[in-house]
Amino acid sequence: MYRFLLSPRWLGALALTLVAAAVMVFLGNWQLDRYRGRTEVNERIDAGQRMAPAPLADALRAPTGGAGTVGPAPAQDKVWTRITVTGRYDPTNTVLVRGRTVDSRVGFEVLTPLVLTDGTALLVDRGWIPPAPGGATAKPSVPAAPTGDVTVVGRVHETESGAGAVDRRDGLLEIRRIGVPRLAGELPYPVYGAYLLLDEQTPAADPVFKAVPVGHTNNWQNFGYVVQWWLFAVMALFGYGWVARREAHRAAGIGATAAPLDRAAEPTPTASA
């Protein structure tokens, strides 16, 4: 009944179906890996908000090069670790990060290097401020950084990709995204390989600053893709089986409806004598 499946046409269709199903399963597995990775990131974000601050050395290795060099990037399990560190702000090398949105408003994040006693520096994101009147790119009035020793508490944030060029405008550095290696080349000291998203500061931070919110990754979107790709794989195999079954039934005549009899074409019976 199903011997037709051994024909070249049906064998080719089976091969294509199996390849398509395998590709869909692979894509589902890839999305599953992304779901797990993003779930781990969300768990680290939540853990960082609850944990007691740890020393800087617990999360980041110190840079060992000279001025303008950058230290090692943090291990993935150290990103979002909450740390505390003491140093002195260097306001002469403040960085404005333009085009940043908080509460649906576009403005600037302000990064100021915190210089430690060993001469290395950690970039601290002090928060978000609005632009000056005149547009989203109008240079803002940056609150002065505290002088003397400052103790900061915040979470380790890895460098951002696609930083672009570093500009200098009116004595301040400007960049579109926080690329620590790119910024390190503009600074007169070795820089740690990540930056700190400020939570607390002693002396207290200027109230003009708004805390930069930390958004969770959309891991459930990836989980939805997992279900979608695996469902497509099942549908491809089911579709092949359904078409093959229908073809087998057609060849065997199963379910065929007999043609109706044409009574008008039958001979008229004659009366017996």
Burial degree of 87 (CB within 10 A; 0-12, 13-18, 19+): buried
Structure tokens belonging to residue 14: 């089976």
Asked if residue 28 and residue 155 are part of one domain, the reply reads no
Do 30 and 66 belong together in one domain? no
Q: Are residues 70 and 189 in the same domain?
A: yes
pLDDT computed for residue 240 by the predictor:
86
pLDDT in tens, 96-140: 999 898 888 999 999 999 999 999 999 999 999 998 887 877 888
Same domain membership, residue 63 and residue 20? no
Sorted by sequence, the CB contacts under 8 Å of residue 88 that are 6+ apart come out as 114, 115, 147, 148, 149, 150
Range of the domain at 23: 9-42+219-245
> Is residue 150 domain-shared with residue 75, that is, in the same domain?
yes
Do 100 and 194 fall within a single domain?
Answer: yes
Q: Which of residues 150, 169, 202 is at a domain's end?
A: 202
Instruction: Using the structure block, give the residue that is written with the tokens 């590709």.
Output: 23
Q: Are residues 38 and 81 in the same domain?
A: no
> Could you read off the pLDDT of 147-175 as tens digits, one per residue?
999 999 999 999 998 878 888 887 789 99
pTM of the model: 0.72
Residue 66 confidence (pLDDT): 92
267 domain-assigned: no
Q: Is 246:44 a contact under the CB 8 Å cutoff?
A: no
> Which residues make beta-bridge pairs with 89?
114
Number of domains in the chain: 2
- pLDDT-based confidence at 273, cuts 50/70/90? very low
Q: Do 31 and 154 share a domain, yes or no?
A: no
Residue 225 has what pLDDT?
A: 86
pLDDT for 172 = 86
User: Three-state SS for 69?
Assistant: coil
Instruction: Say whether pLDDT at 272 is over 60.
Output: no
Can you tell me the distance from the alpha carbon of 108 to that of 98, in angstroms, rounded to the nearest whole number?
A: 5
How far apart, in whole angstroms, are the C-alpha atoms of residue 18 and residue 29? Answer: 16
pLDDT at site 114: 97
Tens digit of each residue's pLDDT (9 = 90 or more) over 198-211: 999 999 989 999 98
Q: Is residue 210, in this structure, part of any structural domain at all?
A: no
Instruction: Please tell me whether residues 34 and 63 are part of one structural domain.
Output: no
Asked if the structure places residue 234 within a domain, the reply is yes
161: tokens are 């990709």
Same domain, 95 and 182: yes
Q: How far apart are alpha carbons 62 and 60 in whole angstroms?
A: 6
Mean pLDDT across the stretch 210-217? 81
Q: Assess whether pLDDT exceeds 50 at residue 54.
A: yes
User: What was the pLDDT predicted at 183?
Assistant: 94
96: β partners: 110, 174
Which of residues 171, 202, 233 is at a domain's end?
A: 202
